[in-house]
Structure formats: C-alpha cells, structure tokens
Amino acid sequence: MQREVEVSNSDDLAGSARLELVEGVTLLDPESALFEAMLSGWARQQRARFLQESQTIAPRIALVRRFAAFSGQYPWDWQPSEAEAFISHLRSTADRPVAVSTARGYEVVLRLFCEFVTDPRYSWSRECLSRFGRAPQQIFHEWNSIAHVSEYEGDPRRRPLTYDEVQLLFDAADGRVENIRCRRRKGALAAMRDAALLKTIYAYGLRRQEACGLDLVDLRHNPKAVAFGRFGAVFIRYGKASRGGPPKRRTVLTVPEMDWIVPALEQWVDEVRPLFAPGRHPALWMTERRGRLSRHCANEAFAYARAASGLPAELDLHCLRHSYITHLVEFGYPERFVQDQVGHQHASTTALYTGVSDEFRTRLLMRAMEAHGDELGMTPQ
C-alpha cells in the first residue's frame, strides 16, 4: 500500500508523463508525439533544478534530437550500438573531428536523458510499454564510454599568449581604429570599443559573459590603491555558475602591472561611450543600436585582431584569460591570490590555465641556484 502511494505521488514530479500527456486524446502520430513529450518533460525537470535555459537545457535537447535523427529511431528503440556508431561518426568527420572532451560531454548528456526516461518515477517506460511494447534503456555504460584519464583534454594548440603576442594583438586592435579613420568609413567608435574591451578582458582575466555583463556601477574604487581611482577593481556579478546555482560573484582587483588599463577605461567611459548615446542604459559595453554587447561580438573583436596581428587561428578569446593567469604567476603573485582573482573554486583548475614561459622557469632556477650555490658547490653562470 505504501508503495502505491509513492508511485502515485511520483506522477506529479516535474517532467512526468502524466503532466506532459493529455489523457483521453488519440494521437495522430503517437511515436513523434511521445518523443516530443519526453523532451518537454526533460526540459521541465531541468528547469525545476534551476539549470540555465540557453546554456544547458536548450543544447541538451538539441543534442538528443540530433542523435535521434542520426539513428532514425525513437528512444524506446535505442541500443548501445547506435550510441557507439554516433560517436564513431563524430570522430570520422573529415572537416572537423570531435574533440575527446566534446565527445564525453555528448555521452554524458545522452546518458542523463536515458536515466530520465528510464526512471520509473516519471512513468515514461510504462507509457512506452503500453503504447509500443518496448521501453527505453540506458545506451551508455562504463564499457562503451570514454574513460577520463587526463585532467586537461582541450586542444593542445590553445595556449596563453606571450607578452609580445598580447602587445601585437592590442596594436592590431588600435590599428583598426586608425585604418577606419584614414579611410573615412563608419565603425571607428565600434573599433575603439573593441580595443578597450580586449584590453579589459586581459587586464582582469575575464570570461566573455563576465565582460559583456559588466555595468558602469561595477567599476569600483580600491581604498588601498587610490592611484587607480574609480578603476581600482571590477565587481563581477555574472561569473560562471555551478550547476543549478546562480551566477557567482567576485571582485577582481587592478594589479600594478596592469595599471595601463586605467587610462584605457577612462577614455572609454568618459569620451567614447557617451558618443554611443546610451542614455540610461547601464551596460559598460554598448552597441551602435544602444544595446548590450553580445558574447558573439566579443568573439568577433578578438578574431579580427588575431587575424590582423598574424597570430595562430587556434587561439581564441578565452586565451586572454589563460594569459592573465600565467602572467600573474610570472609576476610573483601567490597562487591563492590568482585563484581568487579569476574565480576558480579549485587551485587545480588555475594550474591547468597556467603555462609559464621557459624564461620564467629559468629565472626561478637561477634564483634557487644562487640561494643554494654554497651548499651544492655551484656557481651560476
């Protein structure tokens, strides 16, 4: 009796079949209708867990649809063989084979969907059995999933920029402004904005969303660094969220080695931004249409400067964040300070972002040799 009560109550869970399917209605295309109801229920269940719509739920739903189209089957007919064929197909794509980390992410999403539709609390298996005589099953298991054997599985060509490469990038961004002016074409203001944006992302080690989400009120004074004025710190309100949680907040302090960002931001805030006629719009980075700059536009700003400076095409906007972390370490800042500046929960994540130069390591070695030269009987050359 207790079990019957539990099952009855489970039918009211967000995403359950009872809440997605209308009783007493004959479906003209029952297979397609049930599949759509499954997807709708899974989306509802994820919203109940406060997962983000655009960054998590929508991409997951799109991947399930993609796999269904690839297999030509509905979830109650899926087999592990179709899952393995899907990953093999992605690996064999000639123009752009899938990365290991991406493939693992796909496997995790499909595994989660299968866990949802096979969970008896949501009654999807019962619906499939009653309508089609077949029930969904899990298609990814330990024996046919990618093993996680390395902490970093990204493209090895992505790396921090050197100091000279950062300067080349900024020179190219500034040069675009002069080029547009000399040709007397539109877009000089947008080019000035893009140059200031790239410099800000590097000077504070920001993610794209963090930079695009900045408002004027997020520029803060640091009472311990009066010389930086109103640009002594940046308050981040749209940091990367943990799964199901709100965006994380942190304050990023302006470091002396990046003090050149102060006049750059002063020029943008006081001289250039007002020319966009933003009115009362709070965003720090504005578009010509008086809206907030998007992450796509930030990517395009980096791509143009990268191409103009002749840097490798494998580098992307996030590499500026890697560069910031690496350079803070080379400046001699403690690991905990760097971790707090960039908002990493674990020091191991910060370590993965760090790629100090051979010159820096050589300096550390020479310093150690000088400190222990007498004990080791060595004289640094």
What are the catalytic residues? Answer: 207, 240, 318, 321, 344, 353
Residue 241 CA to residue 245 CA, distance in Å, equals 6
Structure tokens at 35: 């599949």
Residue 230's CB is within 10 A of a number of other CB atoms, namely 14
Contact 122, 41 (CB under 8 A): yes
Q: How far apart are CA 178 and CA 191, in angstroms?
A: 9
- Short-list 379, 371, 189, CA closest to 286: 189
Strand partners, 220: 233
- Rg of the Cα atoms in the chain: 26
Report the distance separating Cα 237 and Cα 210, nearest Å. 7
Burial state string for 29-58 with b = 16 or more CB within 10 A and e = fewer than 16: eeeebbbebbbebbbbbbeeeebbeeebbe
Please name the residues in contact with 295: beta carbons below 8 A apart, sequence gap of 6 or more.
Answer: 208, 209, 212
Is there a contact between 217 and 236 (Cβ–Cβ < 8 Å)?
no
Q: Per residue, what are the HEC states of 242-296?
A: CCCCCCEEEEEECCHHHCCHHHHHHHHHHHHHHHHCCCCCCECCECCCCCECCHH
First to last CA, the chain: 84
